[in-house]
A and B are shown apart, each in its own frame.
Chain A
Amino acid sequence: MSVNENTHQDEDRGFQSGMPNSVLHIDDVHKSFAGLHALSDVDLDVREGETHAIIGPNGAGKSTLLNVCVGRLKPDRGAVVFDGEVLTGKSPHEINQLGVARVFQTPEVFPDLTVLENVMVPALSNRDGHFTLNPFKRFSAERQLREEAEHVLESVGLTAQLTDLSSSMSRGDKRRLELAMGLIQKPRLLLLDEPTAGMARADTNATIDLLKQIKEGGMTKVIIEHDMHVVFSLADRISVLAGGRIIAQGTPEEIKVNPKVKEAYLGEEQV
């Protein structure tokens, strides 16, 4: 097992990435809610281009960790550094503009917009920045972005529903739409919170294939997942979170045989 050996840096000197090719560096992050330690001293490095899975039992702090990364929660201590930029304290839109996109566990789409418009919102923000005053520009003239959006929607299998309101979609379809909203931005770092939860097995496999394809494109991904089939199909490295602490890190093979992981998370389950 390769143990993360980065040392805690002095805050005055700024946070440096712990590993030479690390793109996301989570540095000694601590977060508690009303006395309950959701995250304790979490150190984590995600390398450029890898798919890094974070697994752990329910309540281990996985979603809290993602929320800290995207600015939804502020850590009590520590910092998140993305490509040399400290994300802690930045607002969600600033973090996204730096190239970090998140796919939510419970689909958080725009219910009153059509499927295509849902994807066009992140596409436009990716191109135009966090605010552009263009009240006289025609939305229908955005042909290139629209084609890109249609292409991404095709890759997640939503071509037939382009003009449907997203509120009328099934939960599984909303998840695919969520994924498309993340992918359209071609982010440098994509944070996926259980992207296949609630999907039928066939859809799950299709999503795995899709994420594998993007992997070839070089996008760095952090994925939280309960489904071990998904984790072991996709992950280059795995971090195991239990009780708010990282108890193990390593390649899928190393994690499979790690006794601590078996004890804390997998239990009797055969991987």
Chain B
Amino acid sequence: MLGLEKSDFRLLLLVIVLTLFAPFLLNPFPVDSTMAQFNAGYPDLMQRFVIFGIFAIGFNILFGLTGYLSFGHAAFLGAGSYAAIWMMKLLTMNVIPAIVLSIVVAGLFSLAVGFVSLRRSGIYFSILTLAFAQMSYSLAYSVLTPITGGETGLQPKIDDPRILDSVLAVGQQARANLFGLDMSTSHDLIVGGWAFTFNAGYYVAALLMVISFYISIRIFRSPFGLMLRAIKSNQNRLGYTGVSARPYTLAAFVISGMYAGLAGGLMVAMDTQAGAERMFWTASGEVVLMTILGGAGTLIGPVLGAGMIKYMENIVSKINSTVLEGWFAWMPEIIQDVVVAVVYPFVGKGWHLTLGLVFMLVVIFLPGGLMEGFRRISDRFFGGSRKTDNSTGGTTAPTAAE
């Protein structure tokens, strides 16, 4: 189906079902329960899940397949964001032209950066990409202020030309839309004690993620994908089989750059603003973490990694001492104080510590990321003799929604 093998098609279906029903799956706790703060089914976070999922899927095409570790992909995400916001300022608030332009601009930018950076491999390549990204960040902050808005960033304003849209009335806000459908439109469904939110922006982003995921599967399963894997496996040998590695790595670099641009464009489509901090090196590092955490070179792993990091960033970071005291209220007070004191550094503002520990544990015990964990579990329960191709990642169905 759709040019996919059976197992890949099942994986795609699973991703479609999970994204479609994410508002239910991510809100398993009733609104009034103490566990409600673990609910992740609100529009802003769901949008982040799929947008960073796209970013990680694209990054995985470069890093997971060719092994070239870019430390500068946030630059393409930032470039995509700026392109999208300019489209919204100049042409229309409709998200389609904005997203298309963000992909094109990020693609051209990554072509230029890749052309230079891919002259080297290994650590030198990583450093070159990092240097380019930091340079872009600094430029966006300083000399390129007329284009980027510098420190304040860019937002659509009332007096922007927007030649395709009708003039806004005074006080009316420019809102990102899809042929009139406001991206922030939400519909709430209340069932008993549960509340589920269905957001237009989320579903637009989710549709694009499903398409991105489908394209990524096709790339993985193509002769082109095989060459990318051969580059990771033994680039030196590849030359002696008549294959020139550089155009392949450049193509992978540009494709992953375009994915980053799409993610950047979608960020603007969901929340119409862009700033230079999106290009900062920590943002580039984050997508590396997502990919490795989920499983580099697997199909679905990077999406899971993105989901996990965004979940921790948004949910674990909200657990404060009051919440902890509430959880451990049943304990004698002295013990409660000790437990809260022990747990506190790992939650709230300390969520980075928890993430760091999780990352260390995964890298040490599951070098193949979360996907390797799932594979081990399924091998244990369903027999371990099954042969698994490292690149598929689709042989094991992910059990977690995000």
Please report A residues at the B interface, Cβ cutoff 8 Å. 70-72, 91-93, 96-97, 101-102, 104, 108-114, 117, 120-122, 124-126, 128-140, 142, 163, 165, 181, 185
Please report B residues at the A interface, Cβ cutoff 8 Å. 3, 5, 215, 218-219, 221-227, 229-230, 232-234, 236-244, 247-248, 251, 255, 387, 389-390
Contacts A136-B218, A138-B221, A139-B226 known; A97 to B242 CB distance under 8 Å? yes
**B242 engages A126 (CB within 8 Å):** yes
Alpha-carbon distance A70/B242, docked complex (angstroms): 11
* Chain A contact residues, majority secondary structure: loop
**A121 engages B241 (CB within 8 Å):** yes
**B243 engages A125 (CB within 8 Å):** yes
User: Min CB distance, A189 to chain B, in Å?
Assistant: 13
Alpha-carbon distance A101/B226, docked complex (angstroms): 20
Which residues of the partner chain B approach A108 to less than 8 Å between Cβ atoms?
234, 236-237, 240
Which residues of the partner chain B approach A181 to less than 8 Å between Cβ atoms?
241
Which residues of the partner chain B approach A138 to less than 8 Å between Cβ atoms?
3, 218, 221-222
Alpha-carbon distance A93/B231, docked complex (angstroms): 13
Contacts A91-B244, A92-B239, A130-B244 known; A120 to B233 CB distance under 8 Å? no
User: Min CB distance, B68 to chain A, in Å?
Assistant: 15
**A125 engages B251 (CB within 8 Å):** no
Contacts A108-B234, A130-B243, A131-B244 known; A139 to B229 CB distance under 8 Å? no
Least CB separation from A98: chain B residue: B242
User: Min CB distance, A65 to chain B, in Å?
Assistant: 16
User: Which one, A113, A131, A137, A139, contacts B243 given CB within 8 A?
Assistant: A131
Alpha-carbon distance A104/B230, docked complex (angstroms): 17
Contacts A110-B230, A137-B223 known; A70 to B240 CB distance under 8 Å? yes
Known: A111-B233, A117-B229, A126-B242. 7 other contacts (CB 8 A): A97-B242, A101-B241, A117-B226, A117-B230, A130-B243, A135-B225, A137-B224
- Going nearest first, the 5 A-B pairs with the smallest beta carbon separation are A96-B242, A92-B239, A125-B242, A122-B241, A110-B233
**B221 engages A121 (CB within 8 Å):** no
Question: Chain B CB within 10 Å — which of A70, A72, A131 has the most?
Answer: A131
**B222 engages A112 (CB within 8 Å):** no
Which residues of the partner chain A approach B237 to less than 8 Å between Cβ atoms?
104, 108-110
